[in-house]
Amino acid sequence: MIENGASDEAAAGAHPDAVPGADPYAAVLRPVRSGNTFEETVQKVLQLVRLGLVPVGERLPPERELAERLQISRVTLREALKVLQDAGVLEVRRGRYGGAFVLAPAPAPTAADRGEELRRRAVELGDRLEDTLLFREVLEVGAAELCAARPPTGAEAERLRELLAATGSASLEEYRRLDTLLHLAVAELSGSASVAAQYAAVRATVNDLLDCIPLLPPNLHHSQRQHEELVEAILTGDQDRARTAMRQHLAGTAALLRGFLA
């Protein structure tokens, strides 16, 4: 049993020379600290899937790596993977080329079904819907300002540019996953592991809601222009511009969600 208190950095497999944002799992795969080890393990694996950090058809990191990074036993991990397999989220294959693979979601629902699902989830969230959107704004606007205060250079800057280019050329099917990776990189480049972890959690909730509304090409085009404004502000060290760009960008997403809910 590993379920004890090794340092976050060691448990996450961090390297002193690692580039923030280069490890897509860093914000999620942090040591389990609560007494609800099994439940939190399920939550973290679901975050990997909901955030698109492991795409459909791809394999999760190996069991040994997952257990070490989460600081849990292999037994607990396998129990969590079994539950997610039974729920149709993962397919666990044994053998030399085995592992836990992300399954495709159920066939896309109709527009009416999506609207009903969005309303159902919004009702479940209740007052936490507005709280979630506000918390996201606080986290991301702050992260953008922190990034601009210490503009990324070298490999960090190149990582940000690559993610920006990826969202710009993304297909509709891939857009939300790549958008998530770009935003997550900004949170990680803020320099605060706690901000990145909290953002990963809140973004998983937001993605659940966004999956219930259609991807609108005009909105995605506008969103990409905002991404470009944001990244340029961060790379040039313009804190005010970075903060404003992020706030406007998030306001657009919040408006869409509120519009479809209404």
How far apart are alpha carbons 122 and 136 in whole angstroms? 16
Structural domain boundaries in the chain: 8-102, 111-261
Structure tokens, 149: 């205060």
Q: What is the pLDDT of residue 262?
A: 60
Give residue 244's identity as a one-letter amino acid code.
T
Structure tokens, 230: 């944001």
Least confident of 4-13, 28-37, 57-66, 82-91: 4-13
How far apart are alpha carbons 175 and 166 in whole angstroms? 9
How far apart are alpha carbons 174 and 52 in whole angstroms? 9
By percentage, how much of the chain surpasses pLDDT 70?
89
Q: Which residues contact 247 (CB under 8 A, 6 or more apart)?
A: 137, 141
DSSP-derived secondary structure letter, 57? T
By percentage, how much of the chain surpasses pLDDT 90?
55
8-102 and 111-261 share one fold = no
How far apart are alpha carbons 187 and 184 in whole angstroms? 5
Run of H or E residues at 149? helix 128-149
Q: What is the pLDDT of residue 229?
A: 97
Cα–Cα separations (whole angstroms), residue 46 to 55, 75, 96, 169: 12, 18, 24, 27
Q: Which residues contact 157 (CB under 8 A, 6 or more apart)?
A: 151, 235
* pLDDT tens sequence across 27-68: 899 998 877 888 889 888 988 998 999 999 999 999 999 999
Higher pLDDT, 224 or 105: 224
CATH of domain 111-261: 1.20.120.530
CATH of domain 8-102: 1.10.10.10
Q: What is the mean pLDDT of the chain?
A: 86
Q: What is the pLDDT of residue 7?
A: 36
Closest CA to 200 of 55, 6, 192: 192
* pLDDT tens sequence across 133-188: 999 999 999 999 999 999 999 999 999 999 999 999 999 889 999 999 999 999 99
Q: What is the pLDDT of residue 16?
A: 35
Mean pLDDT of 206-215: 84
